[in-house]
Amino acid sequence: MTTERVDPPLRAGERESLRAYLDYHRATLAMKTDGLGDEELRLQSMPPSTLSLLGLVRHMAEVERTWFRRVINGEDIPLVWSAKGDFQEAYDTTGTTRTEAFGVWQAEVAHARRIERAAESLDVTGYMPKWEADVSLRLVMLHLIHEYARHNGHADFLREGIDGTVGA
């Protein structure tokens, strides 16, 4: 599988820019996993860390689900991989396949895109219980860009450790 990644526009409005950068970072995570099988995707960085590429995909599925569906859309749904609401459980990839993890992640990205496009403006708000505050769609999109960018840095190191692939 080869992931296509589109560069964000150099000149665009705020919403188009946020959308493009978020999609750019989503595609970057997918690129970091291109050509790897289940076992390679489960390889962990170094003890005591349990971080793996497959774990990152599962984690980002939970992040997308939480911020877009639970916070902005107000859906009363649990996390996918944790009944306790613990994001760290997403890193336990025991028995998980690429197909399962990517299927959930892609479904959550599709939900997120639908919710974002349906919102009247970036000023639409949702309630974030952890912060006990309302947050805007703008903040959510910026937060996800930050979250992906940070984890894509982790993905760079993980991928290099698996087969030496670097860059992009």
Could you tell me the residue ranges of all domains in the chain?
14-163
Measure the CA–CA gap between 14 and 140, rounded to whole angstroms: 14
Return the closest-CA partner of residue 52 out of 66, 67, 36, 64. Answer: 36
pLDDT at 25 exceeding the cut of 60 = yes
* Highest CATH level, class, for 14-163: mainly alpha
Average of per-residue pLDDT values in the chain: 94
Average pLDDT over residues 42-62: 93
Q: What is the pLDDT of residues 31-51, one digit of tens each?
A: 999 999 999 999 998 888 889
- pTM for the full predicted model: 0.94
Please tell me the predicted confidence (pLDDT) of residue 1.
Answer: 56
Average pLDDT over residues 24-29: 97
Question: What are the backbone angles phi and psi of residue 91, rounded to the nearest 5°?
Answer: -75, -15
Measure the CA–CA gap between 21 and 133, rounded to whole angstroms: 25
Question: What are the backbone angles phi and psi of residue 48, rounded to the nearest 5°?
Answer: -90, 5
